[in-house]
Amino acid sequence: MDIAEVTKTTGLPASTLRYYEKKGLIRSSGRNGLRRTYHPKVIEQLALISLGRNAGFSLDEIGEMFTAEGPDINRKLLLAKADELDRKIEELTTMSKGLRHAAACKVPNQLDCPKFLRILRIAGKNRSRHSNILKR
């Protein structure tokens, strides 16, 4: 498949494919004139990269899962990421329910609503946790 076919099939721009190739995530199999060509299995590799990115894995983490023989997925890393996603889902669900309550709450000022105040505390904790992560 040439690069145009891969971009059409995946919806990824050619620049992303070239970047993934530079990072060692995919390999071209040759050239057709000036265009890179890829083995059809690259579609599966790109789907795996997309799944990993959507789950929150970095490109470096994803790259560690690829070997010359194919994917070698670290199951412990998958479980840790699944646990992280479960915590995030729980957190977002709590916030969603609280926001719905605050929107329907009859108090004149949402800052007088105990449930809304709880959401603010959760948001504050998350902001400080993200700040600590970014400082590392």
Structural domain containing residue 41:
3-71
Do 7 and 67 belong to one domain?
Answer: yes
For the cut 70, the answer to whether the pLDDT of residue 135 exceeds it is no
**Final residue belonging to a domain, choices 22, 53, 71:** 71
Do 64 and 7 belong to one domain?
Answer: yes
Q: What is the pLDDT of residue 12?
A: 95
For the cut 50, the answer to whether the pLDDT of residue 136 exceeds it is no
**Final residue belonging to a domain, choices 53, 71, 89:** 71
For the cut 80, the answer to whether the pLDDT of residue 105 exceeds it is yes
Model confidence over 38-73: pLDDT tens digits? Answer: 999 999 999 999 999 999 999 999 988 887 777 888
Percent share of the chain, pLDDT over 70: 92
Do 67 and 14 belong to one domain?
Answer: yes
Do 65 and 89 belong to one domain?
Answer: no
- Could you tell me if 57 and 49 are in contact, meaning their C-beta atoms sit under 8 angstroms apart? no
For the cut 90, the answer to whether the pLDDT of residue 129 exceeds it is no
**Range in 76-80, 116-120, 124-128 with the lowest mean pLDDT:** 124-128
Do 24 and 43 belong to one domain?
Answer: yes
Short-list 89, 84, 90, 18, CA closest to 57: 84
Model confidence over 84-95: pLDDT tens digits? Answer: 999 999 888 887
Q: How many domains does the chain have?
A: 2
Do 7 and 56 belong to one domain?
Answer: yes
**Final residue belonging to a domain, choices 71, 90, 116:** 71
CATH number of the domain residue 51 falls in: 1.10.1660.10
- Could you tell me if 46 and 26 are in contact, meaning their C-beta atoms sit under 8 angstroms apart? yes
